[in-house]
Structure 1
Amino acid sequence: MKKIIFATTNEGKMDEIREILKDLDIELLSLKDAGLNPDIDENGKTFEENAIIKAKTVMEMTGEMVLADDSGLEVDYLEKAPGIYSARFLGEDTPYSFKNQYILDQLANVKEKDRSARFVCVIALASPNGEVITRSGVIEGYIADKISGVNGFGYDPIFYLPEYQCTTAELPP
């Protein structure tokens, strides 16, 4: 069984990645499971740079294979904010309920066609041999006009998918 450390303290992300990888022969450890609490300076200018920084930092600390991601919400009307600062937007300890309401307030009088947004995710896998592999994904949508749904985490209750006619927080788990 291959051991991989997932460089996150976000329990929501950890739950999602465990569900995605559950059928693979992988021992997946969170930073907490691995007894780590690194203070990683995510000083990259892109999601990819930040994912690589996290993966390489933890790999160098442990000598283990490390998976890391950087992801966030880009709202076009807000000049792609919160973007790479999604987790730290309005303060690192600010609850997402407040962050979500703040975004809704900023877009209160904005028409749907101008509320375009996307979730961006970049995954980096750093191997002890020095190899780093990255992959990225984007899902396009809109900012909803109200908070809706209980599934997921973060910005899911305000991210609307027109093809499903609901927010990502309203999708089944």
Structure 2
Amino acid sequence: MTRKLDPADRLVIATHNAGKLREIAALMAPYGMACASAGELGLPEPEETGTTFVENALLKAHAAAKASGLPALADDSGLSVAALGGRPGVYTADWAERQWFEGAPGQDYKGRDWYLAMGKVEGLLCQLGSDVDRSCWFSCTLAIAWPNGAEAVYEGRVEGTFSWPPRGTMGFGYDPVFVPQGRTVTFAQLDPEEKHRISHRADAFAKLVAAQFGA
């Protein structure tokens, strides 16, 4: 039987990113869950040593639950490109980190340069030829961990096509090059409410809600 969250408990969101806290806290609010981030509580950030989204999400959730004594929710997400064997995948954010030979870090969160990351994917696809398969998908894993070691995992996914050049200014990360299936515009061109309705995170969160707050 899946353990259920208790609305009387405070839920730790295992992130130091204020924007991510706001997004997840807003999703949890209708279910009576008060949220605090790992950053607000002064919890350390564990090193993400997993090789899958599930491993990293669980690692972060368990670390926050153990340190806080409260249930904790973590997510790990990224872009996978079919023709690149699923890369960048779990290393999605790493591709946005500049190496010493690529100049100074960008100005985005933690020095990440997402245009650089998108360009790396495009460069590899171009090497494979003009008729390369550009299908790709975003994945999101949400993991809940309790202080006693119990855990629950929910996975979401949205299919799409890698498009070049980047289009739109309303998204973040790889959103400007991701055209969701059935659409002609990128995630960064979609109204944010529409994007959140069809996104990989929305898919994972719907599964979490059904399991944790359903009848």
Give your verdict on TM over 0.5.
yes
Equivalent residue, structure 2, for 1:76: 82
Structure 2 unmatched runs, 5+: 1-7, 98-109, 193-215
- Spell out, residue by residue over 1:150-170, the C-alpha distance to the aligned partner (whole angstroms, 9 max, x if none): 223111111111312111111
Which deviates more from structure 2 when the two are superposed, residues 93-102 or residues 45-54? 93-102
Number of residue equivalences: 171
- From 163, 181, 186, give the equivalent of 1:162: 181
- From 6, 10, 31, give the equivalent of 2:13: 6
Runs of 4+, deviation exceeding 4 Å: none
- Spell out, residue by residue over 1:75-115, the C-alpha distance to the aligned partner (whole angstroms, 9 max, x if none): 1122211111111125273311211122223324543x601
In the aligned structure 2, how far is the partner of 1:93 from the partner of 1:82?
Answer: 18
Equivalent residue, structure 1, for 2:136: 117
- From 19, 31, 36, give the equivalent of 1:29: 36
3-state SS, counterpart of residue 188 of structure 2:
helix
C-alpha RMSD of matched pairs (Å) = 1.9
Please say if 1:98 is aligned against 2:98. Answer: no
TM-score computed with the length of structure 1 as normaliser? 0.88
- From 64, 68, 83, give the equivalent of 2:70: 64
In structure 2, the CA distance between the partners of 1:47 and 1:139, relative to structure 1 (3 Å rule), is same
In the aligned structure 2, how far is the partner of 1:110 from the partner of 1:12?
Answer: 37
In the TM superposition, residue 9 of structure 1 has moved relative to its aligned partner by 2.6
Instruction: Give the conservation status (yes or no) of the 8 Å contact 1:101–1:147.
Output: no
Whichever of the two has the greater Rg, that structure is 2
In structure 2, the CA distance between the partners of 1:22 and 1:153, relative to structure 1 (3 Å rule), is farther
3-state SS, counterpart of residue 166 of structure 2:
coil
For 1:126-145, what aligned pairs fall within 5 Å after superposition? 126-145=145-164
3-state SS, counterpart of residue 146 of structure 1:
coil
Q: What amino acid is the match of 2:114?
A: Y
Equivalent residue, structure 1, for 2:49: 43
